[in-house]
Amino acid sequence: MALRTLITRKSLGLGLGVSQSVRGLQTVSLPDLPYDYGALEPAISGEIMKLHHQKHHQTYITNYNKALEQLHEAMEKGDSPTVVKLQGAIKFNSGGHGNHSIFWKNLTPVHEGGGEPPKGSLGWAIDTHFGSMEALVAKINSEGAAVQGSGWVWLGLDKDLKKLVVETTANQDPLVTKGPNLVPLLGIDVWEHAYYLQYRNVRPDYLKNVWKVIDWKYASEVYEKECP
């Protein structure tokens, strides 16, 4: 039977991307963006959004699904060296898919509320933990600009301590690699493919302008779920 006929679709947790069950393997596919590629201009160009989504994000998905199938085969054969060898590809590509799925949700056009500061309990928590929204933005921009090479800067929640944290991760490492209790609220991709056609080498300008299209709705929903 063709693999495609065995596929069923369902949403991943928190609506991040789409997973498919293929002979028991939960493979993933590219989630649609909730806005047009050009809708974030001039903060982020449509050309970059299209390339970033269709090429870069799709590549993580393709490689993750491939690694997952190889892992499945290796496990069935009891081929432990191959199981170990695949861990790096799985971490990198699964992280790439998950991180980008959050990133797309953290953005929205200005006319849809992009750039409006968070309201409600998350807004209060930011003031409590960082002093002000401006102080948080300055901290994220400074730590994001200091990431060497590819990586991410995050606003996360330590769900046990109920504390907001700013963290960075290298490459496509998800936030949970910095602590098992950390939940991502807001992630900003600081790898150059997020801005290179537009901002060239000037990452601080990208970080300054991205706030004009940041959507706090997702972050607020996750925060309120974890800290009711």
Q: Which stretch binds Fe ion (CB under 5 A): 24-32, 176-184, 185-193, 199-207?
A: 185-193
What CA dihedral angle connects 153, 157, 158 and 161, to 10 degrees?
140
From 189, 207, 216, 223, residue interacting with Fe ion (rule: CB under 5 A): 189
Structure tokens at 55: 């090429």
The distance of closest approach from Cβ of residue 190 to Fe ion in the complex, given in angstroms and rounded to an integer, is 9
205 is in an annotated binding site: no
Q: Which of 6, 44, 43 is nearest to 24 (CA)?
A: 6
Part in contact with Fe ion (CB under 5 A); list of ranges 16-24, 68-76, 168-176, 182-190: 182-190
Choices 30-38, 105-113, 189-197, 216-224 (CB under 5 A): range interacting with Fe ion: 189-197
Closest CA to 170 of 189, 142, 197, 184: 189
Report, in Å, the least distance between residue 103 CB and Fe ion.
7
Beta strand segments in 75-162, E: 151-158
Q: Is 56 assigned a ligand-binding role in the annotation?
A: no
Task: Decide whether 158 or 192 has the Cβ nearer to Fe ion.
Answer: 192
Write each residue from 29 to 68 as x if it is in contact with Fe ion (CB under 5 A), else as -, in one continuous string.
Answer: ----------------------------------------
CB-CB neighbours of 222 under 10 Å: 21
Q: Is 193 annotated to bind ligand?
A: yes
Residue 173 interacting with Fe ion (CB under 5 A): no
CB-based closest residue to Fe ion: 189
Cβ neighbours of residue 32 under 8 Å, at least 6 residues apart?
A: none
Q: Roughly what angle, to the nearest 10 degrees, separates helices 120-130 and 217-226? A: 80
